Structure 1
């Protein structure tokens, strides 16, 4: 039996246990019932200090029920995931990160058991097991978001994800292709993809934006293509077409006059004949997918003797670099690339298409100089390459 010792306190009480350690009791601010402290203390002074701190937290409305943290993390994470409004591709990606990299180590713990030390250990194990740093960063960001909600719900007092720098990583500098290499790849690839290579280098659209591009979105007379949607591909192979994430994603992008003949040829020979049909059609007349384009890209880079390990997305980097070298400001680059930030969207509302065409013209001049051409090609006389 415990022995009660010490004078009565104004708030709570302390008592010494047969073990010699000290225990605290205090009125639960929610129920008014006495509750026993979660831990014991080596001295009476330590116990009294703990009571004083609890009283102060209650007075400041900062007290958190210690039992709240006993919620199982996996159960809470499932509820967090279920309650979020997410796009299908994002939901699939988050589900995979939780299942593969968070739940195995942390799923059996309670929220209060996930301490900063456990988070550090969890992250160290992932890196030691060879999980790529970008994936570890995404897992850490997702865990932090889940635990932020636990803080908001007053289930824990502080977010245990407090590792400095763990939420970012240094992206390796991607290579850029020279103009000669761009044209070499365009010349070596299957003819139906030549226009795709040139447009990727000189408009810097994303692959999904090209896959969702319609014939009517390409205006050869104005030398502008309109980005109105984006195609995403799930791991199951399901294709999803969606609107850009922000207003900045809806944008016109000008292209140099030098590639107009290539686009005219593409419209005649390879694009859908329907005005609302895809501008780029898959090998068998279906949708353009990464899986039915990747091998052709790799083979073309090899045939063109491209010395760097270039991905298709590096054409976007190439075009951004080329535009920057030819006078585009940072704000103009953000708009051409469709950066989905409020600032970029605001700038987009004020940018004129005339200025964008100047950028495209300068890119065209650089193309002709690199290829040893003096004059731009003569227009074919076709005002807009569209079906009757």
Structure 2
């Protein structure tokens, strides 16, 4: 009995054995004399065979082949498609294939992949975020979002998944839970905006609490006695940090970013000023100076009683050069103190005077007392460095002279408490 062995054949009907034989033949032996005798639609090109067909009045190149046999098979295939009306130019076919692959890849974008793309965009967007803010987002994503959602495609994340992620973060505290919810909302809104991963609607449906800091502002503001008590409870080399944050309404990063040269006219009580032109980003990698939040560069007047404390602090703790940090690292006096270092001191101080008080409450205290001294909303915004395009024109009504008058009133209040 003779057993016939069947070989699989490709789309041209050629078996693997036949294709190997054709591939070993020299293309130059197939024809002689610069393409002479080749079928119409096949031409020689650098020793190979180029196939072309005409379709609807246009000529299309359909590929280059090593042997004449393959070129003829390709020509017959494409001519048949032209007759049947199913012909698609190879260039268009490659474009469609590329688009299909891109669409498939887009649908598979995971939360982990998108989170990194989103975080990287925060530094270069229309409103670039500070390195410290970006580092905070990265920490929230790594610690609370990726463990549960990282491997899920964006389009497969459900509102229930979001609620579970936020609920899990609650184990680390209400503050962590709110940060996770806000980060998820911002991250998915950004994905929807550009259609990342084919996402059309955000799965973040939950209502995000603002927390107690906004709900009980009056209770959050320390009293005059508490501010002085908090300053006194700090180590001597950082007592001034509390007073500057309170009486000049500075953010903690702005306090740490101060340098000796930022203070002017220390020998003229009532006219002493401090310029806020940077903040220290100790959470950035690597730590570095950066612009103040929202580019809120400003110069504010320092109360006379506080100016004397500033001079005493500079004389005792700060290097003589203008770039020397006012609050330096315990390890390197030429480098600013980190947020963690001053935070540890602050936590110990507030535990004795006002447990749970955030350092930012000092800034809120300063602006509140400034308003009580008679400042207008525009003057409060100027001193606090609140920058908003909608109210930018209001700044023209505020002046340094007016700031001196109002700060003098702050000084009276300050000296009254100290007596």
Give the TM-score normalised by structure 1. Answer: 0.67
Counterpart Cα distance in 2 of 1:313 and 1:335: 17
**Shift of the alpha carbon at 1:318?**
2.2
Tell me if structure 2 keeps the 8 A contact 1:272–1:280. no
Counterpart Cα distance in 2 of 1:291 and 1:77: 26
Residues 294 and 167 of structure 1: CA distance in aligned 2, closer, same or farther (over 3 Å) = closer
Counterpart Cα distance in 1 of 2:350 and 2:385: 27
Tell me if structure 1 keeps the 8 A contact 2:226–2:354. no
- Aligned counterpart, 2:208: 166
Residues 1:208 and 2:253 are matched in the alignment: yes
- Aligned counterpart, 2:184: 143
Tell me if structure 2 keeps the 8 A contact 1:176–1:314. yes
Secondary structure of 2:366's aligned partner? helix
Residues 1:254 and 2:254 are matched in the alignment: no
Per-residue CA distance 1:333-388 (angstroms, 9 max, x = gap) = 2222222433465544552011111221111122233344xxxxxxxxxxxxxxxx
Counterpart Cα distance in 2 of 1:178 and 1:167: 26
**Shift of the alpha carbon at 1:307?**
5.0
Residues 66 and 170 of structure 1: CA distance in aligned 2, closer, same or farther (over 3 Å) = farther
Residues 1:80 and 2:122 are matched in the alignment: no
- Aligned counterpart, 1:28: none
Per-residue CA distance 1:182-240 (angstroms, 9 max, x = gap) = 3344445443334333222211112221221121211123221110000011287x522
Residues 190 and 101 of structure 1: CA distance in aligned 2, closer, same or farther (over 3 Å) = closer
Residues 257 and 76 of structure 1: CA distance in aligned 2, closer, same or farther (over 3 Å) = closer
**Shift of the alpha carbon at 1:168?**
4.0
Counterpart Cα distance in 1 of 2:347 and 2:155: 49
Runs of 5+ consecutive residues of structure 2 not aligned to the other structure: 1-91, 94-102, 124-128
1:1-388 equivalences under 5 Å are 69-85=107-123, 87-127=130-170, 130-154=171-195, 155-163=198-206, 165-166=207-208, 168-171=210-213, 173=216, 175-187=220-232, 189-219=234-264, 220=266, 221=268, 222-234=271-283, 238-247=286-295, 249-284=296-331, 285-286=333-334, 287-297=336-346, 306=353, 308-343=355-390, 346-348=393-395, 350-372=397-419
Tell me if structure 2 keeps the 8 A contact 1:105–1:122. yes
Secondary structure of 2:114's aligned partner? helix
Residues 96 and 295 of structure 1: CA distance in aligned 2, closer, same or farther (over 3 Å) = closer
Say what the alpha-carbon RMSD is for the aligned residues. 3.2
**Shift of the alpha carbon at 1:315?**
2.1
Residues 337 and 160 of structure 1: CA distance in aligned 2, closer, same or farther (over 3 Å) = same
Counterpart Cα distance in 2 of 1:175 and 1:330: 20
Tell me if structure 2 keeps the 8 A contact 1:281–1:288. yes
Stretch deviating more after TM superposition (254-263 or 80-89): 80-89
Normalized per residue, which structure has more helix?
2
Runs of 5+ consecutive residues of structure 1 not aligned to the other structure: 1-30, 33-64, 373-388
Residues 150 and 202 of structure 1: CA distance in aligned 2, closer, same or farther (over 3 Å) = closer
Residues 352 and 177 of structure 1: CA distance in aligned 2, closer, same or farther (over 3 Å) = same
Tell me if structure 1 keeps the 8 A contact 2:131–2:281. no
Q: Which structure would you say has the larger Rg? A: 2
Counterpart Cα distance in 2 of 1:150 and 1:81: 12
Residues 256 and 145 of structure 1: CA distance in aligned 2, closer, same or farther (over 3 Å) = closer
Residues 232 and 269 of structure 1: CA distance in aligned 2, closer, same or farther (over 3 Å) = same
Counterpart Cα distance in 1 of 2:347 and 2:185: 38
**Shift of the alpha carbon at 1:309?**
4.3
